[in-house]
Structure 1
């Protein structure tokens, strides 16, 4: 997509959020885009409401699948909020459900009082992730197993083509490695056969230590769109040895399970394949090309899973 096409997509997503918000009774006067990468995030001023509109997704984009995914996110965030966990909660000014308007699916959230030192994706100490995992263990509803790996990635791996530095041999390796990983990560039963005794639970799904907002009142977790059931190691994949050590230290202090090296290796292999699969998204989001080139080099330098 050209810069002009990207800008037009942002404009259409914003217009859709404004129209949907007004239909729900919000008095929107001046929408302001706060963030625009995988999702367009819009403050529906003067209301203290933020709309998040995914425009590029790694998950299956079929409307019913997207609706279920967004509803899970809203439900989990609302439940965590009732448990006293510091999260950005869904907006109480509109019904707690996804809205589809003009081809865009969106959710509505409370406006966070962002602190001056906030930086997108800047991480926090891994003790926060331990605390979040401890809270999520009590979530009462059923969640799909490792949905970031099992929902959307199969189609992306199948859709890989030689481009942007990705070669035919890379694609052959990726598909073979995906098949070997799928044999142990397709569902709970396969996982437990491969890793007996390792528990699974609700996990945030996308590096919770880096999906936080620094507010004047403290750290808030945000972005639960990849909420899933899996081992806690999924939330630590690709964060590095120091992060894993910090997590294990905090887990030991809480008296809960520390990470399993073999499970972590499998999760990191799956996460690297997710980056490879994201080469299919570059036409929709050209800024991915440079970071994905680095991720490709890292994947090539890593031994194949299995």
Structure 2
């Protein structure tokens, strides 16, 4: 493989993001003397100690995603989490010590959050988290703010990634790329158009959803669990939040849905979101030159994918065997 960032390159990128966050925090009146990186993959997350504030700075973005588009997404996240916090839903909340807006500095766009101490000794209970996701969905149903349809699927990024991978057979074999592109031609219209989705899946309600696998994004605080990382909050079917998690967690979600008075997961929509989610994962390989670790996450999923029905079994005009009907 060639053209990959080295560990030193990534360290320099992280240091630049930390410097930008420290400078922005100080400009906003925070006392910052002991900045400490808490996490870094697609974003650098840094505690601006001793201030009880955490900055999150995205550092690995698609080529097509400019800072204006990122800031738009960040504003939606800030608005949704503030609204949920005001309703008493346990979330990682925007910091009240700074204005609730994205801040741009040194080529980065960042957001600021309340610092919450993490219980690092507790293993995640994904079944409990999946069941709890139904509680989050019940709370989100009343969110009044505007959200785009299935923006969390990032169709521009999928299209861009599959195009770029044409020049990277070291990252994705040509046969796999050919299948991925053919699947995308089937799935893309239903991702880009709410009307097309609703025609394909009549009777499936849409609502505000987390957008990024909430069972894997529940923060274990020392004072209790909190829903976290709403960067991809969107309008969509609840199934999107359970994509690729498997039947055990789907069953756990359905227990929570029954308790909350919500519908159970739809098997046809699950096949659709699983297929789209896999193409999104494959597209992430195009980011490998800037995030080499992504190869180790995505490559093991390719062999199981090869054994799945093409595009989740979806064919134009008759999604995954769903009979045509008016309701």
- How far did 1:123 drift? 3.1
Partners of 1:71 and 1:258 in 2: CA distance: 31
Q: Residues 205 and 228 of structure 1 are in contact (CA less than 8 Å); yes or no, is this contact kept in structure 2?
A: yes
Q: Does 1:274 align with 2:277?
A: no
SS of the residue 1:57 aligns to: coil
CA distances 1:157-213 after superposition (whole Å, capped 9, x unpaired): 222233345112221211111111012221211110000110010110111011011
Q: What is aligned with 1:50?
A: 54
Q: What is aligned with 1:300?
A: 306
Q: What is aligned with 1:159?
A: 164
Q: Residues 157 and 283 of structure 2 are in contact (CA less than 8 Å); yes or no, is this contact kept in structure 1?
A: no
SS of the residue 1:220 aligns to: strand
Partners of 1:98 and 1:122 in 2: CA distance: 32
Q: Does 1:182 align with 2:185?
A: no
Out of 100, 123, 126, the position equivalent to 1:123 is 126
Q: What is aligned with 1:70?
A: 74
Q: What is aligned with 2:325?
A: none
Aligned length: 305
Provide closer, same or farther for how the CA distance between residues 223 and 81 of structure 1 changes in structure 2, counting only shifts above 3 A.
same
- Root-mean-square deviation (CA, aligned residues, Å) is 1.5
Where in structure 2 are the equivalents of 1:216-255 lying within 5 Å? 216-255=222-261
CA distances 1:213-271 after superposition (whole Å, capped 9, x unpaired): 11121100110001011000000011010000111122122221001100000000000
Partners of 2:227 and 2:142 in 1: CA distance: 17
CA distances 1:52-110 after superposition (whole Å, capped 9, x unpaired): 00111359421211110010011111110001100000000100000111111110000
- How far did 1:302 drift? 1.3
Partners of 1:140 and 1:151 in 2: CA distance: 26
Partners of 1:59 and 1:9 in 2: CA distance: 17
- How far did 1:287 drift? 1.0
| TM score, norm. by length of structure 2 | 0.90
Q: Residues 117 and 214 of structure 1 are in contact (CA less than 8 Å); yes or no, is this contact kept in structure 2?
A: no
Partners of 2:122 and 2:144 in 1: CA distance: 32
Partners of 1:43 and 1:24 in 2: CA distance: 15
Q: Residues 133 and 256 of structure 2 are in contact (CA less than 8 Å); yes or no, is this contact kept in structure 1?
A: no
Where in structure 2 are the equivalents of 1:58-97 lying within 5 Å? 60-97=64-101
Gaps of at least 5 residues in structure 2 are 315-327
SS of the residue 1:29 aligns to: strand
Q: Residues 118 and 214 of structure 1 are in contact (CA less than 8 Å); yes or no, is this contact kept in structure 2?
A: yes
Gaps of at least 5 residues in structure 1 are none
Partners of 1:59 and 1:261 in 2: CA distance: 34
| TM score, norm. by length of structure 1 | 0.96
Q: Residues 67 and 108 of structure 2 are in contact (CA less than 8 Å); yes or no, is this contact kept in structure 1?
A: no
SS of the residue 2:215 aligns to: coil
- How far did 1:118 drift? 4.3
Partners of 2:37 and 2:102 in 1: CA distance: 19
Where in structure 2 are the equivalents of 1:100-115 lying within 5 Å? 100-115=104-119
Q: Residues 124 and 210 of structure 1 are in contact (CA less than 8 Å); yes or no, is this contact kept in structure 2?
A: no
